Every structure is written in C-alpha cells, then in structure tokens.
Chains A and B, each alone.
Chain A
Amino acid sequence: MITTDIIIIGAGPTGLFAVFEAGLLKLKCHLIDALPQPGGQCSEIYPKKPIYDIPAYPEILAGDLTDKLMEQCKQFEPGFTLGERAETIDKQEDGSFIVTTNKGTQHKAPVVAIASGLGSFEPRKPLLDNIADYEDKGVEYMIKEPELYRGKDVVIAGGGDSALDWSIFLADVAKSVTLVHRRNEFRGHLDSVDKVQELKNAGKINLITPAEITAILGGGKVESVEITKKDEAPFNLKADHFIPLFGLSPKLGPIANWGLEIEKNAIKVNNALDYQTNIPGIFAIGDGNIYPGKLKLILCGFHEATLMCQAAYKIINPGKRYVLKYTTVSGVDGFDGTRKEAPKAVVKTID
C-alpha cells in the first residue's frame, strides 16, 4: 500500500504543478497516470507543438513545459504509478481514501485530487466485428512486453510514430513483421520513416500499402488476418499477433462510476471555494472539472491546483494555523533536504 497526503490522478501539467504547491505546504503527493510517462496530453499528443499562453513564456513547447514542471516539483519527491489507470475508490472509516488501479496497485491518502483532463488515454480500436474476441489472444493495442513477439509472425497496422517505431524494433525480435497502412505516406519522424524504408529494402519488414486489415481469423486465437489492398481482392496472411496502433483517445472511464456529479463529461466542482466535488475530500482540477465560466486552459489548472492544496492542508491539518508565504521570502525547502532561497542583501559601508 502506497500512502501519501494527496493522491493525484493524472500527471499532466495541472497535476504536476499541484505537487509543487502541495510541497510548499509540506504535503506529499503521489501521481497515478494511465500513460507510461508524465505530462499528459502535452507529452502524448503534442510534445513538439508550441504553447503561447503560459504566463511569462512567450512560447514554450508542450514537451518542454512538462520538463520544466517536473524540474520545479522535483524537490518534493512525488511518487508515480505510471501505465496504470485509477479504477476504484473506497472511502475508509477514518475518512481517508484507497484508490486502486487496474493492475491492483493500492494508494491511500486523506485527499484525492482528480487532474485527469479529458480522461485516461485508451487505444482506438479498429472497426472489426470480432476483434474483442481476440483481445489478449493475439490482438494487442499496446506493446508492453516485446519478448512476447520473439519468433512470431506479427502484423502491425497504422501510419504514425508508434506503428513505425514498433515495426523497427520488432524487426529484430519477431520472425516476421508486416506493416499495413491505408496510405503509402507515413506520418512520423523522418528518421523512423527512413529506417522502415531501409528495413523494407533489406527484406526485414514486409510493407503492404495502401491496404487495410479487413478480418481476423483463427479458432480461439489469432491465426491469420485478411488484408485488402485498395482495388484488389482480399488475401489472408498468417499471423500470430495483430497489433493495431491507431493512436489513443481520452475516455472518462471508471471515474464516471465514483459517485461524482458529472456534467458534459466533466466533474462538477465548487469554484467559489476550493474545487471540491460533491464528495468531501475529493477535488477535481484542470480540464476535467466544470463550473460556471470554466475555461480549459493550463493556466487555469495551475490556479485551481493552488487553491485545492490550501483546502487539502485544512483537511489534513485540522485547526492548524497557517498564513500564505511567498517563496521569495521563505525560500523552498525540499523533502530531499535541498533549500532554495533568495540571496541575502549585501550590507556594506561606503567610506
């Protein structure tokens, strides 16, 4: 059981900044995110795109914003449970919450802050009638364990970076790699495209374009897939694994069943006070909440995170006195023993 002061669901910009603000109040945070890396949308969807409305940054790449936020909160030593989706929440008799992920990891804290944006990113599944029957029986939407494919015939579908990168990687592992895409053009880093071209020329990747997977065949597990090239008759290809990589789309997911008030796919909060939900002790901050006048902006998430931490402090330290401090005046004392502070003024006599 992981115990902390605030469980933050979602490691996007809002969740990461909450770690910093909580740290100033001596509160520890642990973040849970379905993605394998922190940063949320900024890292997953548009790391190389610029943002122009972060205060004091005329321009910053989304990926760089993530790096800066990680650096800013580093001394408060946040814990991370990555690649796992928060599944259930259970209120304990002492008022605390236990959040359990889809992999069974348990987290306990008196306060939960949901900073889940548009939701957890789930793979987009191709529209094949029987695909659900083959899930984890040869159909995988994400590659978690590359060794699974050693010596196997693998078919990958998709035209983006993940399809290219995994084709390259598995070319050395699998018995055969076939990459199927609807077009001849791929959208990915130039060096990945060049590498696939090279591997194709060397006969290490079997490239079939423009084409689509039109059926999955096999008794109880994937044995072959039907591939249809544009304007040609379909044919079957032997396959042990079919890996469709068509990107991710955010879904509110299990949080929808936590008893929280939901409106327009977002969690209703009290914006007059502290962004608390209808369940005391559970807050929602950032793009995933809703209140009158809500704007889905990173900078609004930062503000919401800051107020949430003040309310969390009161829950965790009932009755304890506190006044707002300025970092310039008090400095920043990290949990790792580091201290940042303004240099002392120089006092010197002029003769």
Chain B
Amino acid sequence: MENNDVNITIIDRDGVTHQIEAPTDMAMNLMEVVRSYELAPEGTIGVCGGMAMCASCQCYVKSNHELPEMQDDEEAMLSEAFYVKDNSRLGCQIHITPELEGLEVELAPES
C-alpha cells in the first residue's frame, strides 16, 4: 500500500518535541493530529470541535512552509485570542496535505 503519511514535528506545551507521522488521506487537520497522538490533554485542545471558534488549538509555525491562506474566521478568532504571535495559526484550519512534509509547529499555551 502506498504510504500517504507526512512527517511533522510538534513541540507540546511542556516543550517536549514529538516526531510524528500524519495521514494525508483521512481529511484530518493539525488539531486532530495532535489529539490523535494525545499530545495535549483532552478538553484543552479542539474545544469547539474545529470551527475556528475557540483558539484552543493555536500553534506557532516554526518552519517556512507555505500554508493555506487564513480565512476570515481564523483571522477573527486569532485577533481575540491570547499569546498570539506573527506565526500563530489555528491547528484546526491546517489540513494535512503532502506539502506539509517536514512541518514544525509548537502548541501555544492553554488559555
């Protein structure tokens, strides 16, 4: 079977680095990948389910990947979130695609 996984580096909220493989063919987003690997406690990430309405999946993009452009709702949510930096994105709005091979992100603190 063809391998549809991409390699992603995720630094969790305790500063621990995880090298993980994420499937590109399961319509998953970065927030869901973090949950599937349990890199943040349940109930502290993806609270709204992935509607860009809670910012609990905020992460900082550390690598220079070309990511899909921010939609209005993500931009609006980030403008109300805390700990926001220039490289902040909402994990739930980043879909896992082959282009993300080698992506490196850090989870923003819980708020």
Contact = CB atoms under 8 A, between A and B. Distances in A.
A344 B65 CA distance: 68
14 contacts: A41-B48, A45-B54, A46-B48, A124-B82, A127-B83, A160-B80, A183-B79, A185-B75, A185-B79, A187-B77, A246-B80, A264-B41, A265-B41, A266-B43
Interface of A: 41, 45-46, 49, 118-119, 124, 126-127, 158-160, 181-183, 185, 187, 246-247, 249-250, 252, 264-266
Q: Which 10 A-B pairs have the closest CB atoms?
A: A265-B43, A187-B76, A264-B42, A183-B79, A182-B79, A127-B82, A159-B80, A265-B42, A246-B80, A118-B43
A183 B74 CA distance: 13
Given A49-B51, A118-B43, A182-B79, 11 more contacts: A45-B51, A46-B53, A118-B47, A160-B76, A183-B76, A185-B76, A187-B73, A187-B77, A187-B80, A265-B41, A265-B42
A266 B76 contact: no
A246 B80 CA distance: 6
A264 B42 CA distance: 6
Nearest to B56: A249
Contacts of A118: 43, 47
B87 interface: no
Interface of B: 41-44, 47-48, 51, 53-54, 56, 72-73, 75-77, 79-80, 82-83, 111
B6 to A, nearest CB: 26
A93 B106 CA distance: 51
B49 to A, nearest CB: 8
B80 A247 contact: yes
A181 B79 contact: yes
A250 B111 CA distance: 11
* Interface residues of B, dominant DSSP: loop
Contact of B43 (A46, A119, A160, A183): A119
* Interface residues of A, dominant DSSP: loop
Nearest to A126: B82
A253 to B, nearest CB: 12
A266 B42 contact: yes
B76 A159 contact: yes
A74 to B, nearest CB: 28
A158 B81 CA distance: 10
Contacts of A250: 43, 47
Contact of A249 (B54, B73, B83): B54
Contacts of B48: 41, 45-46
Contacts of A46: 48, 51, 53
A159 B79 contact: yes
Contacts of A249: 47, 54, 56, 111
B88 to A, nearest CB: 12
Contacts of A187: 72-73, 76-77, 80
Contacts of A159: 76, 79-80
Contacts of B82: 124, 126-127, 246
B100 to A, nearest CB: 26
A86 B111 CA distance: 22
Nearest to A127: B82
Contacts of B77: 187
Nearest to B54: A249
A96 B51 CA distance: 40
Contacts of A185: 72, 75-76, 79
Nearest to B84: A182
B63 to A, nearest CB: 26
A182 B41 contact: no
Nearest to B53: A45
A41 B56 CA distance: 15
Contacts of B73: 187
